[in-house]
């Protein structure tokens, strides 16, 4: 079975999972961390090269204050709890997004785990936190524009490959498989540029219930797809007279 090199997931449905059980939304987020832990392990075992998880969007600040602060404490405690295990499994964790908006405590924890796992040679794990796809495109444009202004880069050399490299995902392959749990069929400002040719997979399963079997179902679906990248089916399958 063809395993996707890079899997990108919008982990959605924590709130509804909790609501259906008359629990506070934060309980759903706690369960969501457990799902993330299982999926990280399963992807690493399956030989996925890179896993990107959407943990907090640049728009999620609009949520009630207690939910936002609860999520921030959850990020800190999850990092404290998981750092050693990630290192043991050789998972290299990095955060993408504008981390300057986070508390110094959270920023320090992020830097600590990134440092601890920097030399790990296994799966790359990107956590998108205070991330927005438009923000990413904008910051890449600013970086490249600054290089053009300083004379370091000729405008004519600003091509797709250079732009891609300036994105926060610059040193990983573009996502092959996009998964969104929780039933919504939208991107919600996730990896806007990077998803150009990703296979999209949507499931109604709420994130706290998404487990290794759900992941295998998504992988099996992915493996059945023919990725044509603009070519004909015959060209891709290598049929004669393509």
Active site residues: 12, 60
Pair 178, 200: CB distance under 8 Å? yes
**Residue 39: contacted member of Mg ion, ligand IPE, none (CB under 5 to 8 Å, by partner type):** none
Residues of this chain, 2-21, that bind Mg ion according to CB under 5 A: 12
Does the footprint of ligand IPE cover residue 60 (CB under 6 A)?
yes
Phi, psi of 80 (to 5 degrees): -60, -40
Judged by CB under 6 A, which of 7, 8, 10, 93 binds ligand IPE? Answer: 10
Pair 175, 155: CB distance under 8 Å? no
**Residue 4: contacted member of ligand IPE, Mg ion, none (CB under 5 to 8 Å, by partner type):** none
User: Would you say how long the chain is, in residues?
Assistant: 242
Which residue's C-beta sits nearest to Mg ion? Answer: 12
Does the footprint of ligand IPE cover residue 16 (CB under 6 A)?
yes
Q: Determine which helix (DSSP H) or strand (DSSP E) holds 53, and give its type and residue range.
A: strand 50-57
Q: Determine which helix (DSSP H) or strand (DSSP E) holds 86, and give its type and residue range.
A: helix 65-88
Pair 61, 137: CB distance under 8 Å? no
Does the footprint of ligand IPE cover residue 56 (CB under 6 A)?
yes
Does the footprint of ligand IPE cover residue 99 (CB under 6 A)?
no
**Residue 45: contacted member of Mg ion, ligand IPE, none (CB under 5 to 8 Å, by partner type):** none
Nearest to 74 by CA among 32, 13, 16: 32
Which residues sit at the interface with ligand IPE, rule CB under 6 A?
Answer: 10-16, 54-57, 60, 71, 182, 184, 186, 188
């Amino acid at each position: 079975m063809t395993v996707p090199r890079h899997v990108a997931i919008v982990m959605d449905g924590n709130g509804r999972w909790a609501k259906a059980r008359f629990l506070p939304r934060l309980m759903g987020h706690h369960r969501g961390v457990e799902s993330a832990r299982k999926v990280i392990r399963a992807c690493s075992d399956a030989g996925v090269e890179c896993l990107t998880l959407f943990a907090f969007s640049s728009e999620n600040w609009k949520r009630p204050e207690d939910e936002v602060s609860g999520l921030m404490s959850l990020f800190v405690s999850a990092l404290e709890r998981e750092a050693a295990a990630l290192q043991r499994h050789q998972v290299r964790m990095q955060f993408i997004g504008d981390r300057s908006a986070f508390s110094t405590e959270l920023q320090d924890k992020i830097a600590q785990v990134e440092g601890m796992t920097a030399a790990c040679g296994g799966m790359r794990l990107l956590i998108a936190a205070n991330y927005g796809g438009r923000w990413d495109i904008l910051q890449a444009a600013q970086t490249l524009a600054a290089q053009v202004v300083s004379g370091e880069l000729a405008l004519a050399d600003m091509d797709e490959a250079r732009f891609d490299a300036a994105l926060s995902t610059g040193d990983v392959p573009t996502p092959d498989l996009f998964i969104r749990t929780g039933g919504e069929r939208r991107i919600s400002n996730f990896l806007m540029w990077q998803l150009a040719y990703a296979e999209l997979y949507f499931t109604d399963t709420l994130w706290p219930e998404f487990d290794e079997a759900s992941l295998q179902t998504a992988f099996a679906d992915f493996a059945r797809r023919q990725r044509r990248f603009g070519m004909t089916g015959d060209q891709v399958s290598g049929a004669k007279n393509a």
